[in-house]
């Protein structure tokens, strides 16, 4: 058991965890942030994607201790001040989710994807970059549509701000 501290969704948190505790377990069990899901045991499905220091990470592939001192954002922390993030909004408007189980990981991966590619994101790139996220419900059609819509909106907003 060790005490682990990190910043999660802008708040300083700490908790006791065994050395073998994964980041996803720490988030779910210690912090009660159950929006981050576990869909596999081989780091293949992406249901557990969060941001660690601004980058998308599968939280089942990282020990909680490795994230000590880092800034972690989970799906619960994405909507700033109650306002939905454009990616969340796009998933809602484009029916980018059905059962919702893959959705937190999809949204966190998509946010990172848009950050890296901006408005230049195209369908082929989105499909390739979603390689690490499995959805069994949507056939990805509306997930791809949602991500492109969000990229468009965020890219457009970026340009307007520049």
Partner 1 sequence: MGAEGIGARIARKEDKRFITGKGRYTDDMVVPGMKHAMFVRSPHAHAKINGIDKSAALAVPGVIDVLDGQQLTEDGIGSLICGWAITSKDGSPMNMGDWRPLATGKVRYVGDAVAIVVADTRAQAREGAEKVEVDYEELPSVTDSTAAIAEGAPQIHENAPGNQIFDWELGDSTTVDAALASAAHITEMDVVNNRLIPNAMEPRAALGHYNSAEDHYTCWTTSQNPHVARLVMSAFYNVAPENKLRVIAPDVGGGFGSKIYIYPEEIVCLWASKRTDVPVKWVADRTESFMCDAHGRDHVSNIKIAFDSENRITAIKVDTLANIGAYMSLFSSATPTYLYATLLSGQYNVANIHANVRTVYTNTAPVDAYRGAGRPEACYLIERAMETAARELGVDPAELRRKNFITEFPHQTPVIMAYDAGDFGASLDAAMQAADYSGFAARKAEAAGRGKLRGIGLSCYIEACGIAPSQAVGSLGAGVGLWESAEVRVNAVGTIEVLTGSHSHGQGHETTFAQLVADRLGVGIDTVSIVHGDTDKVQMGMGTYGSRSGAVGMSAISVALDRVEAKAKKIAAHLLEADEADIVIEGGELKVAGTDKTLPWFQMALAAYTAHNLPEGMEPGLKETAFFDPANFTFPAGCYICEVEVDPDTGVTDVIQFVAADDFGTIINPMIVEGQVHGGVAQGIGQALLEGCAYDPQSGQLLTASYMDYTMPRADDLPSIDVSTTKTESPSNPLGMKGCGEAGAIGSPPAVINAITDAIGNNDLTMPATPQAVWAAING
Question: Applying CB under 6 A, which of residues 52, 137, 153, 155 lies at the interface with ligand FES?
Answer: 137
Residues that bind partner 1 (CB under 8 A): 18, 20, 28, 32-42, 44-45, 47, 74-76, 78-79, 84, 88, 91-93, 95, 97-104, 107, 123, 126-128, 130-131, 133-144
**Any bridge partners for residue 80, and if so which?**
83
Piece in contact with ligand FES (CB under 6 A), picked from 13-21, 76-84, 98-106, 147-155: 98-106
Residue count of the chain: 162
Does residue 28 belong to the site contacting ligand FES (CB under 6 A)? Answer: no
Q: Per 3-state DSSP, what percentage of the chain is helix, strand, and coil (rounded to 5)?
A: 45, 20, 40
Piece in contact with ligand FES (CB under 6 A), picked from 34-42, 75-83, 107-115, 122-130: 34-42
Tokens of 56: 């998308």
Q: How far apart are CA 116 and CA 152, in angstroms?
A: 13
Interacting partner of 75 out of partner 1, ligand FES, none (Cβ under 5 to 8 A depending on kind) = partner 1
Residue 58 burial (CB count, 10 A): 23
Helix (H, G, I), strand (E, B) or coil at 90: helix
Does residue 71 belong to the site contacting ligand FES (CB under 6 A)? Answer: no
């Amino acid at each position: 058991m060790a005490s682990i501290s990190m910043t999660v969704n802008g708040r300083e948190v700490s908790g006791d965890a065994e050395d073998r505790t994964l980041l996803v377990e720490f988030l779910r069990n210690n912090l009660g942030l159950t929006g981050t899901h576990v869909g596999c045991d081989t780091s293949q499905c992406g249901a557990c994607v969060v941001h660690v220091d601004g980058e998308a990470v599968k939280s089942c592939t990282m020990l909680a201790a490795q994230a000590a001192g880092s800034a972690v954002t989970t799906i619960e922390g994405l909507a700033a001040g109650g306002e939905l993030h454009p990616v969340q909004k796009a998933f809602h408007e484009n029916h980018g989710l059905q059962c919702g189980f893959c959705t937190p990981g999809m949204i966190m991966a998509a946010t990172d994807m848009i950050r890296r590619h901006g408005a230049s994101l195209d369908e082929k790139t989105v499909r390739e970059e979603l390689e690490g996220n499995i959805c069994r419900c949507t056939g990805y059609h509306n997930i791809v549509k949602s991500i492109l819509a969000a990229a468009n909106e965020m890219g457009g907003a970026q340009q307007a701000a520049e």
